[in-house]
Amino acid sequence: MPARPLEHASDSDERVLSVLTDGHVEIIGRIVPSSNLALLVQVGTGDDALPAVYKPLSGERPLWDFEPGLHRNEAAAYVLSDWLGWDLVPPTIIRGDAPVGVGSIQLYIDSDPSDHYFTLYDRAPETRAQLRALAAFDVVANNADRKSGHVLRGTDGRIQGIDQGLCFAAEDKLRTVVWDFAGQPVPPELLGGIAPLLNDLPPGLDELITVSEIEALQGRVRRLLRTGVYPTDRSGRRVPWPLV
């Protein structure tokens, strides 16, 4: 099924979502290194074939602090990013008829492998605004695994965040390399973007994450609106490993 209603997508996203949802899935190979099974696939046929990353539920390693079903978080991250209009997460859907079972399928982003958050941050101000948006997104989504290598710059110049499986926990689990904006004001346009989440939710989000996770998300939004600044890691421990 699509991860969210197509009427919220741009024309290009509609085409991508249509192919990812209905196209034939062919496994090309495994993506390594990866803690969970991640497969490079081709979805569709002929001129409508797209490269994508397929993360099946059957390939997840058990975690003590996250329930099985990380593919739902991958899809939920796209739903949230698309609804906000921030364009930070590649089109992502869930399919139950994929080769090794139900899982998320996300458009593959062609990017320079030498680039990651740390190199992109240094290219200020070219990428700084997009990275500020990504930092705010990760606070709202409660991203517990924002490594530097999870931040890509596509060939079109857009910043994209990938690997959002460890998001949306009800408990505060923010772990990220993006602390450069800590204590700084969140831009008004970003605060204005998240404010409607207190009374409205992206269509389909409640099918992907639990009621307690939605309530916690709204609590994070409320806190960010109240403080108006990016959070600070006073412990120095809220970073993922490895950093890249």
SS3 211: helix
pLDDT of amino acid 191: 98
* C-alpha span between 138 and 134 (Å, rounded): 6
Q: Tokens in use for 87?
A: 């364009």
Q: Tokens in use for 85?
A: 């209009």
* C-alpha span between 69 and 96 (Å, rounded): 13
pTM of the model: 0.94
DSSP conformational letter for 52:
E
pLDDT of amino acid 125: 81
Q: Where are the domains of the chain?
A: 6-227
CATH of 6-227, one of 1.10.510, 1.10.10, 1.25.40, 3.40.50: 1.10.510
pLDDT of amino acid 25: 98
Report cis status (omega within 30 of 0) of the bond before 33: yes
pLDDT of amino acid 6: 33
- Amino acid identity of 88? L
* C-alpha span between 138 and 119 (Å, rounded): 19
Q: Tokens in use for 29?
A: 């190979």
pLDDT of amino acid 8: 43
pLDDT of amino acid 11: 58
pLDDT of amino acid 7: 38
What angle do helix axes 70-84 and 128-141 make, rounded to 10 degrees?
A: 130
pLDDT of amino acid 4: 33
Local mean pLDDT, 10-residue blocks, the chain (244 residues): 38 89 97 91 92 97 95 98 97 97 98 94 88 98 98 95 98 98 98 97 97 98 98 95 93
